[in-house]
Amino acid sequence: MNDIRRTILWVIFGFSMVMLWDQWQLYNGKQATFFPNPAQQKQVREASTTAPSPALTDASVPGAVAPSGASAVTAVPASTAPASAVPKERIEVSTDVLKITFESEGGSIVRTEFTKHVDGTEKAGNFGLLDDSKDRVYLAQTGVIGGATAGAFPTHKTSMVFSGPRSLPDGQDDMVLRFTSPEVGGVKLVKTYTLRRGAYDMAVKHELTNVSGAPIAPQVYFQLVRDGNKLAGESSFYSTFTGPAVYTDAKKYQKVEFTDIKKKNADYEKQSSNGYVAMVQHYFASAWLLPDGVQRNFSLDGVDIGSSVADCCYRATMIAPLEPIAPGATKVVDSRFFAGPQVETQLEKLAPGLELVKDYGWLTILAKPLYWLLDKLHGFIQNWGWAIVALVVLLKAAFYWLNAKAYASMAKMKAINPKITEMRERLKDKPQEMQQEMMRIYREEKVNPMGGCFPIMVQIPVFIALYWVLLSSVEMRNVPWILWIKDLSSPDPLFILPVVMTLTTLLQTALNPAPPDPLQAKLMWFMPLIFSVMFFFFPSGLVLYWITNNVLSIIQQWIINTRMGVPPQFNLPKFK
C-alpha cells in the first residue's frame, strides 16, 4: 500500500512539474510545451499582431501635469508646429564605442550601434540597441510641452537644424552636437548632446528661450518608445526581462511588463524628485537620467506611431515641470542619456540604482557580492572562464564543512543501506511494521535520513544567485574561454560541456545512497537526465559553472566516504 501511495505521489509531483513548466512558458509569452490550449494560442497570436490600445498617438506628446501634481494627458497635434523649410534627414555620428543616428525631426535618437559588441544573431556587424526599421522600433525622444501655460511648443515632431561634427576627432575626448528649433509657441529650443570617448552615456542639455512677450511655464519630457516583441534569438529554456522600468529612492527598482501596460494595471511610482526611467533587455539597457532634486513625473503607456511592426508600441516617459520663464530669459535643463551594455561597475557611477537594470531578482542581496568577487577574480586571472572556475572553488571551500556534514550523513546512509534493503524485503507484506523497523534502525545507527539534504539546501540560494550573475553579465558575451569555446554566453557548439555535465551529474547520482523504494531509485536517475537536456541549450559559462561544482562535489564526497570507512561504490540503476 505504501509503495502504491508513493507511486501516486511521484506521478502527481511529475505532472505538477509539467504543468508548472507549461504555465511558466505561457507567462513568458510562449506557447505551452506539453498541453497547448487552442484558445490560449489564438490569444497569444492575436496579442502579437495587434497594437496596444494607444493612450496617445504619435501625433501627440506627453500631456501636461496639472499644478496639483495629478497626471493629465493632453493631445497636442504635431500640425500645430509650423512647417519648416529644413528637410527631414538622418545624421550618423560616431565615437570610438558608439555609432548613433539622429533625426533632424526633434533631434531624436533613432539608432545606436556598439562597435565593441557584435550582433550575435544571424546578422553580421555591430550590435544595435535603438532602431527604427521595418522589424524594430526603439527610439529616444525629448521635447517641450505646456504646463500651467497652454499651447504648443517644440516637440520630437518639430524639424530642427543640426550643427556639429560627424565623428570624434583624433586626440579629442568629447564632441558637441546641437539641434536648434524654430520658434514654436513663443519658445525656441536648443538641444545639445555631448558625447565622450569610451562612454555609452551622453550629456543632453535643453536650453529653452522665451521669445514671447509673456511668462511661460513649460515642461520638458524625456521618453523611450519601444515595440513589445521578444528579442531575436531569445532562448526558450530560460527567460530574461524585457520592458520598461522606473527607479526612485522611495520604491527602488520597479520593472513593468508590457502586458501590464496593455491591461492598464501597471504599478509604479508616478512622482519623485529623484530616479530614472529605463528600457531593459538581456545584457543592454537605455535610460533617461535627471539630477537629484529635480521634480519629475513618470508615465508608462501604449502609443500608436503608425508603424508596421507588430505589437508597437510602448512608451516610458519622464516629465520635468519648470519654473516660469520670463520674456527674453533662458532656462537650462541638464540631463543624461545612457544606451549601452549592463556593465555593473560602470552603471553604479552614472546614477544611484542604475546598476539594477542588470536584474538579479529577489536574490540581488547575494548576487551583487558574488559579481563583485567574480569581477575581482577576472581582474587577476584575465579570463572569464577561469574566473568562473575560481569562484566556484572559493564557494565550495566556504561551504566545505556544510558539505562535509551532508556527505557524512550520506555515507552513513550508504553503510546501513544493505540492512534497510534486507528489512524491506523481509517485511514487504507488513508496511506498518516495516516503517517501525526502519525508524528503529535509524535511531540505533544514529542516522538522520534528511541529514544530507539540509546542508545542501542552505547553499541553494547562493548557487541560484550565481546562476543569475552568470546569465546576466554582458562581460560573458562573445568572450572565449579555451579552444572551441569562443563565446561563454552561447551554447557549446560541439556539445562537449553539456555531455561532460550530464556524465558528472550521473556519476554524482551513482555515488549517492540508493533510495530503498525502487520507484524513487529510478526517478533519482531519470531526473538528472531530464534536466541535463536543458543544459545543451544553456550558455557555456553556466554549464562550466555547473561542471566545476559537480566535479568538486564528487571529489569531496569520495574523500569523505573513504575517511569514514565506506568505500565509494556506484549504485547503478535497476530498470527491471
What tens digit of pLDDT does each residue of 321-356 get? 999 999 999 999 999 999 999 999 899 999 999 999
Across the range 244-250, mean pLDDT stands at: 94
Domain carrying residue 125: 50-63+91-232+241-358
Residue 21: inside a domain, yes or no? no
Nearest by Cα to 147 from 96, 204, 76: 76
Q: What is the mean pLDDT of residues 132-150?
A: 84
Q: Show the beta-strand stretches assigned E in 259-403.
A: 271-272, 276-280, 284-289, 296-304, 314-321, 330-341
Q: Does 175 lie in the same domain as 307?
A: yes
pLDDT of residue 1: 40
Domain shared by 273 and 380, yes or no = no
In a domain, 539, yes or no: yes
Q: Nine-digit cell at 398? A: 566556504
Looking at the structure, tell me whether residues 257 and 157 fall in a common domain. Answer: yes
Verify that 293 and 381 share a domain, yes or no. no
- No. of helices (H) and no. of strands (E), the chain: 12, 20
**Would you say residue 443 has pLDDT above 90?**
no
* pLDDT, position 177: 96
Domain holding 223: CATH number?
A: 2.70.98.90
Residue 19 pLDDT: 54
Q: Shortest CA distance to 211 belongs to which of 185, 184, 186, 181?
A: 186
Interatomic CA distance for residues 516 and 522, integer angstroms = 11
Answer whether residue 133 shows pLDDT above 50: yes
**pLDDT value for 432:** 76
Higher pLDDT, residue 326 or 73 = 326
Is residue 575 assigned to a domain?
no
What whole-number distance in Å separates Cα of residue 41 and Cα of residue 441?
54
On whether residue 306 sits in a domain, the answer given is: yes
* Mean predicted lDDT score pLDDT of the chain: 78
Same domain, 260 and 378: no
Model confidence over 22-69: pLDDT tens digits? 555 544 545 444 444 433 333 333 333 333 333 444 545 665 443 333
Which pLDDT score, from 0 to 100, does residue 371 have? 92
Question: Which pLDDT score, from 0 to 100, does residue 149 have?
Answer: 53
In this predicted structure, which of 16-20, 45-49, 133-137 has the lowest mean pLDDT?
45-49
Q: Which single residue is written with the C-alpha cell 508590457?
A: 258
Do the domain assignments include residue 459? yes
Q: What is the pLDDT of residue 42?
A: 35
Residues 214, 322, single domain; the answer is yes
41 within domain boundaries = no
Last residue of a domain, one of 328, 358, 388: 358
390 with 489, same domain: the answer is yes
What spatial distance separates the first Cα and last Cα of the chain, rounded to whole Å? 20
Q: At residue 426, what are phi and psi to the nearest 5 degrees?
A: -70, -35
Higher pLDDT, 35 or 122: 122
pLDDT of residue 63: 53
Supply the pLDDT for residue 229: 87
Domain assignment present for residue 25? The answer is: no
Whole-number pLDDT of residue 411: 64
Average pLDDT over residues 424-449: 70
**Structure-model confidence comparison of residues 190 and 417, the more confident one:** 190
Reported for 232-237, long-range contacts at CB under 8 A and 24+ positions apart, including other chains, are 232/121, 233/120, 233/121, 233/122, 234/282, 235/537, 235/538, 236/25, 236/30, 236/537, 237/534, 237/537, 237/538
Report the predicted TM-score, pTM, of the whole model to 2 decimal places.
0.76
Looking at the predicted structure, is the pLDDT value of residue 216 above 70? Answer: yes
Helix (H/G/I), strand (E/B), else coil: 318? strand
Q: How confident is the model at residue 509 (pLDDT cuts 50, 70, 90)?
A: confident
Average of pLDDT values for 179-191? 93
Domain total of the chain:
2
60-89 mean pLDDT: 45
333 and 431 belong to one structural domain: no
Reply yes or no on whether the pLDDT at 4 is more than 50: no
Q: Are residues 220 and 289 in the same domain?
A: yes
Residue 497 and residue 545 share a domain: yes
Among 358, 393, 412, where does a domain finish? 358
pLDDT for res 553 = 82
Which pLDDT value is given to residue 109?
Answer: 96
Report the pLDDT averaged over residues 264-270: 89
Is 27 part of any domain? no
Task: Examine the fold and report which residue of 334, 358, 382 is the final residue of a domain before the chain moves on.
Answer: 358
Whether 428 and 347 map to the same domain: the answer is no
Residue 214 grid cell? 509673456
Under 8 Å CB-to-CB from 387, ≥6 apart: which residues?
A: 374, 377, 378, 381
Statement: residue 394 has pLDDT above 70: yes
Indicate whether 283 and 143 sit together in one domain.
Answer: yes
